[in-house]
Amino acid sequence: MKIGYLCTFTPKELIHSAGFLPFRVFATDKPINRASAYIQSYACSQARGSLEFALEDDFYAFVFTRCCDTLMRLTDIFEFAGKRVHNIEFPTKIGNVEYYVRELKDFVEVLRAWGGEVNYESLMESLRLYRELEEKLKLLFSLSPDYETVIKAQQIDVRKAIELVDEKIRDAKRVEKPKVLITGSVCPYPEVYKIFIDAGFSIKDDLCTGSRFFEYKYPNFEPKDLDSALRYIAEKYMNKSPCPTKHYEGDRRFEYVLKLAEDCSAVVFLLVKFCDPHFFDYPQLKEILEGMGKKVALIELEFPVVSLEQLRTRVEALREVIE
Amino acid sequence: MRKLNASGKMRELMASYYMLGHQAEFNAWITSGAPVELLYAMDIYPVYPENHGALIGATKLGSHYSEFSEKKGFSRDLCSYARCDIGCVFAGTSPIGGLPKPTFLFACNNICNTVVKWYEVLSRIFKVPLFVLDMPFIRKELKESHLRYVEEQLYDFIDFAEKITGRKLEDSRLKEVVLKSLEGVRLYSECLMTARNKPSPMTCFDAFVNMAPIVCLRGTDHAVSFYREMKEELDERVKKGVSAIENEKIRLLWDNIPVWYRLGWFGKFFEERNACLVADTYTNAWTGFGVLKGDDIISSMAEVYTLSYLNIGLDRTAEVINRLIELYDVDGVVMHSNRSCKPYSFGQYEIQKKLNVPAVIIEADMVDERAFSEAQIVTRLEAFLEML
């Protein structure tokens, strides 16, 4: 049975260990119609598109984490639309592991109430499998970023996803071309990335559909029981690649993006219209990046993407500027 | 509409409040739902960018100041309070000559997560520390773990503020401030409640105009004496049978932040149609900040501020609105779908279905007058009033 989730802070290992398929929900190619009866047009098209998809598809339940203001309200809206939901209060301020462990314990109870069985052994196996998937995706992306694969990997069983990535690693070749850093929230359309490749870029990303799905700093301990496995998850997710919906000590999010940009000639902010957290960061990040001598472009998207040709023109123009 | 004398006094009071900010040794920029009592108890002057944003909206300069931030790359889709306030920082001025530079920033996300991003921007501009008070969103029940999380942070905040200012938070002083806060909130609530009278001595526009003291001066004598006087004025109106509008036939409730640049226009529109907006969900949100359970101030504070109106699930929001509908005996609800405030607006489509009286949704923006389509709004509201 599928459990849908939208945010990469969702502890998919727990969902998996309870015997469900964690399935990342994205906007699709279909136009957004039914969702418009539930939420205003100034909600981002990822939220509206996901709701549209959820209304059509068969899920057992949906799990939300409070990230942005839209996701905060979306849980209730999904519930009003007749869906089974749970929201995990992932803290906005990164740091308090104890608090989040308590929240995860409550989530374990919810999974049990949904008929899932969470125990130490099953959770350890799920933790191991997801780490394997994440490390393999990291390897694949270091050779040749493959968005079709990473997006697919988020919607199939983790074992199958590992096999898929293994297969892709075998054929992957590193290509040296001017690098572009694509930063933003989600973009579940592989054709968009292809435009960058076609224009002669090699891609590095800071995207929630790309590297932010698999970039983690893993905790330095081996869990001994269920409680410490939950602590492991809490620490793992607090140390995941930083996201603009979270507040970090220092300016970890900016530092992270700036570091990624170091060896890139250009930075593209590929932002979904109405994605407030990213749009708040954009002006100040842009200023620093330009100070570093990077070419910066803002590309605003709405899902489904209808004007690929317009996007191609912008990307090609950027490629020419770099030459 | 019959103007309240209180509004004139409020302007004087707020003018001196803003002036004092420039003289304070320490000041903190603070979000509207944060526990300001902690600042007053340490004699740290609170500066409210949101109130400043509302003031800019009311002076119809929202788009003017927004453009300063838009030129720097801030999207027009972002919250207009944030946009025009950041715009004022870039412009180096505002209708009140700009806000004083902060000693530190204090953002509490019990109203939205937008304030966290907004204050991060400010923190980089001013190069001053930012404390984020992270409130779990209480979609269903408030859990012990949530309270503990918030309580721990309140103590962290006290440490943070003490280190920056070199001052100590004295328990007795905090208690004094909290008691004043309670008294202010009590009198403020009583003012709003006078609108239960038929006809009502006040409209929600009076409430909007006069809400600044409960937001900015909560915990001081100023708020207490201001609302005491306002209450006397309203009681006097009730005694003499003086109504806020000429001919009150329809009673309505407003939902969401007001359209600040159109307060007068809306007031006139409804009065001409014998409709009185007697109450609203926005100003009512501050009536909830006045609970002190037992002796433990910090733990009460954690509970009260975590359960703020915008930090609860939509089921409970609908319950609150239905309570207001009953309390003020209104015939309908006007819901402002506010492009600037996603947590306030998303869910309105569903809430509308759960209300015990008819409701209409109009789309606009609280400060950015470019997002106001008069013809469309008139058509909707006229159809709604006719239906009532």
Beta carbons of A39 and B152 less than 8 Å apart: no
The stretch A231-253 carries a mean pLDDT of 97
Backbone angles phi, psi at B167, to 5 degrees: -105, 160
Task: Identify the structural domains of chain A with CATH numbers, from first to last.
Answer: 2-118 (3.40.50.11890)
Chain B CB contacts of A102 under 8 Å are 145
Chain A interface, mutation test: which of B145, B156, B256, B348, most A Cβ atoms within 10 Å?
Answer: B145
pLDDT of residue B290: 76
Nearest residue of A to residue B353, measured between CA atoms = A80
Of the pLDDT bands very low, low, confident and very high (cuts 50, 70, 90), residue B16 is: very high
Mean pLDDT of A204-226: 97
Which residues in A lie closer than 8 A to residue B149 (C-beta atoms)? 91, 96, 99
**CB-based contact, B23 to chain A, within 8 Å:** no
3-state secondary structure of B369: helix
- Closest approach of B143 to chain A, Cα-based (Å): 10
Q: Which B residues 91-110 touch A at CB under 8 Å?
A: 109
b/e sequence A247-273, b meaning 16+ C-beta within 10 Å? bbeeeebbebbbebbeebbbbbbbbbe
CB contact under 8 A, B139 and A76: yes
Question: What type of residue is B114?
Answer: T
> How far apart are the C-alpha atoms of A8 and B385, rounded to whole Å?
46
Number of structural domains (chain B) is: 1
pLDDT, residue B295, reads 80
| In-domain check, residue B35 | yes
Paired tokens of B55: 């003031």
ipTM for this prediction? 0.97
Burial status of residue B144 (CB atoms within 10 A of its CB: 0-12, 13-18, 19 or more):
exposed
What average pLDDT does the structure give for chain A? Answer: 97
Distance in angstroms (rounded) separating the CA atoms of residues A3 and A64? 10
Both structure tokens of B22: 């420039």
Instruction: State whether A77 and B346 contact (CB < 8 Å).
Output: yes
Query: How far is A316 from B137, CA to CA, in rounded Å?
Result: 44
Quote the CA–CA distance of A205 and A275 in Å, as a whole number: 18
Check residue A217 and report its DSSP letter.
-
Token digits for A94? 């990164």
- The share of chain A scoring above pLDDT 70, in percent, equals 100
Q: Does B12 touch chain A (CB under 8 A)?
A: no
Residues of B in contact with A276 (CB under 8 A): 77-79, 114, 117, 342
Structure confidence by residue, pLDDT tens digits, B251-260: 999 999 999 9
Average pLDDT for A97-106: 97
Domain hosting B37: range is 5-171
The CATH number given to whatever domain includes residue B152 is 3.40.50.11890
pLDDT tens digits, one per residue of B133-166? 999 999 999 999 999 999 999 999 999 999 999 9
Q: How far apart are CA A200 and CA A177, in angstroms?
A: 7
Q: How many CB pairs under 8 A join A and B?
A: 122
Residue A187: which of A206, A201, A170, A173 has the closest Cα?
A206
**How much is the pLDDT for B293?**
73
CB contact under 8 A, B118 and A42: no
Percentage of chain B with pLDDT > 70?
A: 100
Query: B97 by DSSP, 3-state: which?
Result: coil
Q: Is there a domain that residue B295 lies in?
A: no
Task: Evaluate whether residue B138 is within a structural domain.
Answer: yes
In a domain, B197, yes or no: no
Residue B218 has what pLDDT? Answer: 96
* Residue B303 vs residues B138, B154, B249: alpha-carbon distances, Å: 11, 11, 40
Please compute the mean of the pLDDT values over residues A278-306 and round it to a whole number. Answer: 97
Position B216 in a domain = no
Tokens 């998207």 appear where?
Answer: A301
